[in-house]
A and B are shown apart, each in its own frame.
Chain A
């Protein structure tokens, strides 16, 4: 129906333009009507194309708006998320949907920037069919959408949204993040590093030049200084996001001769860095930490002994994941369909969908099997504890998530062609988080060296 309307309008537009060219020189005055027609038509395209969904009859599906990067450099992280969502939704629908209602998703490309994303969010929110937004990947998008979610009262699940600033004011009613945030994610690396290399003296940092890179450097440094005050940061490099070349940075890192090189580069940047640093011996001269290293394990040959992790518990080969038949099935299906095993962004997305599904079920149980409202869904998410593919996602009073953190080192295994993570530690989600309402950086600076003693040791998680 909508498509027919669109094509009619397009045809009308085109025909009026064509007339214009023909009459171009002859009758300028009478062109005016046609021009107005054309412009009105152009306006109408916008209106029709975008309101057609709203004009549909009574909703018979659970509508989800899913925000991720499907173009631009960040798509390297965003597409696994979209793939996982596609796969999960197909699987949910193949088994009868959520409580008998099929799921339908609308994807929004975050590469449009804040303005386009907000426009899309408003459009999707204007359609009653869409009950939950799974938004978003980038912290900047999440921060821009959060106030909107509260105003429009749409439950919004941050499937990645690492920044610790998102829920800091503790007043959120509709924004949820069933994930860790930058604070536990990067403290985990500091603790793991000091357990594995207690005598480390000098550290160099190379992070991408945007909020995520700077936040991570700040948290990692603060945690290291609190746990081992004599540590020195000998170099801090912030190459531009999307830089293809790290040769100069690698020379700089090599001349600084640090014990440890820490990096939260990701996507193509990380691949380029690894590819250029390996032959130049950086991995041999320093202990390297690649915070998002798991995403490239299957793509670039990482040497043994690099500290890597998954910014959460989302490793598809972790002992918990292997013990869960659902996860094994998901990983195999993902490999069949997309040619690669699911990297942790894919698992994060899958877990976010499971989180939404659980909330939907809970809300329906509570209201007696009716189709839940947005408010009821948000209510069901509050304080929930959901079993995911790789662990549990617990929602705190401030809507922030408690998720375990897995860190380990790369090891070779006969079972796979690519390196896997071994010698792992799995830190409990709440053990690395400040209390609700506490300023995270202030909390980190209060940590004492004894703090790490009580936590699991490398190799304890198997």
Chain B
């Protein structure tokens, strides 16, 4: 049994890293804008499509293959720079202060549109480029071969958690964001340009979604339908961690990752149920998620 623990652990971490990338942007956007972006999953797959396209270009021109790692990052920046401001300005801004139903439905409409646009642009076949994965090679742990790329993903997830924490605690932008999160009206009245903060925060959310999609492409191709699946998973993870909690999302990803891995090893037939069952259990005990706080009731 003991030699099965290390593979289990590695599998859990690798699976948690991918889940985390899907969820962290969603939870960040919710914490700042108080908007649940249902189109988040589509932005994730758009990031994947763009990354795969650029990597394919690099391979076809026989440029230095390590450029494809740069391409993964660049594609996320690219998607964020285009879609972030565009969506925030045109649709999301309109929903501020409206009921949750309206926010969910507007972004749901956006989700339907983006899904079809992807199909029209990229077709229906799976889209991928695995150069980054092949470059890194493999690693043998206890008789099970792992991809070094999986370990790279775990590192990237840690990097993002720490990076976001540093950004929020130790930069001016981070402090502004914190101010807006804590008290939007007060922040506005002391002269913080909340509109700018919203655009930046939303674009950062888009960047994280697109980065998740981009980092996933080297091992798993992007195909139609991925956006919807990613969305529900991201939602479950964000809810478990507490909407708006970045560390919460990280811990929740681990929980869901471990739950899935245990399900696959012990009761494979419950694999698909695992994330939702975990979500249900956590939410019944702690409705605001593991790290969420109770919001004051109106009197």
Contacts and interface: CB of A to CB of B under 8 A. Distances in A.
B145 A268 contact: no
A71 B272 contact: no
B216 interface: yes
Interface string A258-273: 0000000001100110
Nearest to A257: B143
A226 B220 CA distance: 37
Contacts of A70: 124
A156 to B, nearest CB: 25
Interface stretch (A97-105, A180-188, A190-198, A247-255): A247-255
Interface stretch (B63-71, B156-164, B193-201, B221-229): B221-229
A281 B146 CA distance: 9
A28 interface: no
A268 B126 contact: yes
Interface string B1-30: 000100100110011001000000000000
Most chain A CB neighbours (cut-off 10 Å) among B123, B126, B261: B126
A164 B11 CA distance: 37
B203 interface: no
B260 A279 contact: no
Contact of B271 (A75, A76, A209, A280): A209
A254 B144 contact: yes
A211 to B, nearest CB: 14
Given A275-B219, A275-B221, A247 B125 contact: no
Nearest to A244: B220
Contacts of A329: none
B247 interface: no
Interface in A97-142: none
Contacts of A239: 271-272
B147 A244 contact: no
A79 B220 contact: no
Interface in B106-139: 116, 119, 123-126, 128, 130, 133-134, 138
Interface stretch (B87-95, B166-174, B262-270): B262-270
18 contacts: A71-B116, A71-B119, A73-B223, A76-B126, A238-B268, A242-B225, A242-B226, A244-B222, A247-B219, A248-B264, A251-B7, A251-B11, A251-B146, A254-B143, A254-B144, A255-B144, A268-B221, A275-B130
Top 5 nearest A-B pairs by Cβ distance?
A: A268-B223, A75-B124, A73-B225, A268-B126, A244-B220
